[in-house]
Structure 1
Amino acid sequence: MGNTKISLRLLVDRNSNRVVIGEAGKDFVDFLFHLISIPAGTVVKYLFDHEMVGSLWNIYDSIEAMHENYMEPNLNKHNVLNPKVSSSSLADTPFLLAEIAKEERSVPKVLYRCGYHSYSTKPNSSSTKRRRNHTSITFHPYVSNDPGAKCPTCGKEMTKQLTYVHSPAKEVEVESGSGYVKGLMKYVVMDNLQVKPMSAVSAISVLTACEVKDLDALETLEVFIGQEEAAELMKASFITDRVLTRLFLGNQKA
């Protein structure tokens, strides 16, 4: 699914060189809605190779450059800069973040607890004549992904390594009933990425709101969105409210 491309049909006003509306299916709308749930740190890291603009990168860079003496002692800076995204949520937008999901699963996850433990022994409650003592082990109920974290109970560092066990691997693909919107209808996507269910009334109201006067200047354009286009769309959404125009018509003034 990593090479999957999503189609989007645009209605373009050639007189003003702008996208009036787009007609999209479930796959594109699910992609847009999923962008809201991606941590900002993941967005910055993902867009770094696409000449990210704006100020988010400056925040990321500031955290990366900040000396540990100025950070809270229990803070793991690596985790702040590399927030985890669940594989199950990534499954709804495979062409955008499939590589990140694959990377997440390929890196062994390690958890830590403090070294405290105690033993207690008591008679087994069995009704058999020959009873045996039952021994139980008690640990402090805290784990961390940072071996330098302190146990809230005893204050010792969490250095006892535990190994995280992944759930069975699943194919990253969009299944029926997954995602955000139903797939039995089309949706109107505005130039500013506002989404509405498709209807004759909504299409006419959009044309009126956009003050389209020359209907003969309107033409349809089918475009395709893959990983590169997804990154550019995400980047454009931070700097303009005419995202589709900027991305697909090359209008950098949008």
Structure 2
Amino acid sequence: MISANVDIVPAPFVPRMVKYLRKLLMSKKMRVTAFVQNSTNRILAVQAQEDFVDFLFSLLTIPLGKAEFILHGDTGLGSVDNLYRCIPSLNVRKSINTENHSINSLLNPTIPRNYVSVTQILPLAQKSSHMLLSKYDDFRGRHQRNLEMTDSRDMDHYELKGLKPNAYMVTDDLVVMTSSANYGVSKLQATGIPLHDIETHVLDIGMEEALNILKASLTSSFALTNGLKQSLRRRKTRKMKCSSGGETCFE
């Protein structure tokens, strides 16, 4: 990890690094199998691997201000959106403790260290480590050095370690459960929807879809249906072209 106090990276290189990291995030993909009710276009559930479930749980670590930042002040939380948008136009410094806060901490707060998933697909920044200046004397004279302060919580990761089933089942309203193929079918049958009305579609989830799921999860009980509807529409269109022979398709 590069310390903020050490000028190792040349200044002209920083924008290129930021651009590279954003491109890297944009290229990351998670793959799920969606069970879709054909008559309503509703995603009943998805079967997913650990990376997608880890991403969903990581949504709980995002401060509200950070959600506003990455969704450009358009979370769908009406009054909160208005509150966020008015900050730049007001002299907020007079109404907050500037020693402990800054305008940026309201507009773009960071996340505590090690609370960002290693599989994170959203552009989230972690807090830098706390540094303590230590001074001491020995036979050679007086010295000082920087010590990194570590929160004991840094040792705790919410990532799904040790529990690795073949897959997880995630419902439209983001209820997560471990599953197997047979278990997934039985849960779908329990909905009372005829199996002939249920289609499966393989969907790739990148940053665009992740942002849509975040927004939908804040305002809706149909987080997957609303968050993945554009991806599903594209997938169905492509599937129709494949079946009509107009396009060569590969999974």
Higher relative contact order by CA 8 Å / sep ≥ 6: 1 or 2?
A: 1
CA separation of 1:194 and 1:178: change in aligned 2, threshold 3 A: closer
Q: Structure 1 runs of 4+ off > 4 angstroms?
A: 109-113, 134-137, 162-167
> How many angstroms apart in 2 are the aligned matches of 1:164 and 1:70?
34
3-state DSSP of counterpart to 2:44: strand
Contact 1:191 1:241 in 2 (8 A): yes
**1:93: which partner in 2?**
119
With over 3 angstroms needed to count, the CA separation of the structure-2 counterparts of 1:178 and 1:4, relative to structure 1, is farther
TM-score (norm 1): 0.61
Hey, what does 1:71 align to over in structure 2? Answer: 96
2:115 maps to amino acid? S
Measured in 2, the distance between the counterparts of 1:48 and 1:228 equals 13
**What does the per-residue CA deviation read over 1:39-72, in whole Å, with 9 as the maximum and x for residues that have no partner?**
11111101107x4422332232344444233334
Unaligned runs of 5+ in 1: 114-120, 125-131, 138-161, 168-176
Contact residue 131 and residue 149 of structure 2 kept, 8 A: no
Q: Which residue of 2 aligns with 1:54?
A: 77
**SS class of match (1:237):** helix
Distance in 2 separating the partners of 1:112 and 1:64: 33
Give 1:1-254 correspondences, 5 Å limit: 1-2=24-25, 3-48=27-72, 51-55=74-78, 56-67=80-91, 68-72=93-97, 74-78=99-103, 79-86=105-112, 88-97=114-123, 100=125, 179-180=159-160, 182-199=163-180, 200-201=182-183, 203-208=185-190, 210-212=191-193, 214-250=194-230
Cα-Cα RMSD: 4.0
CA distance in 2, matches of 1:164, 1:63: 36
Length-normalised TM-score, structure 2: 0.62
The alpha carbon displacement at 1:31 in A equals 0.2
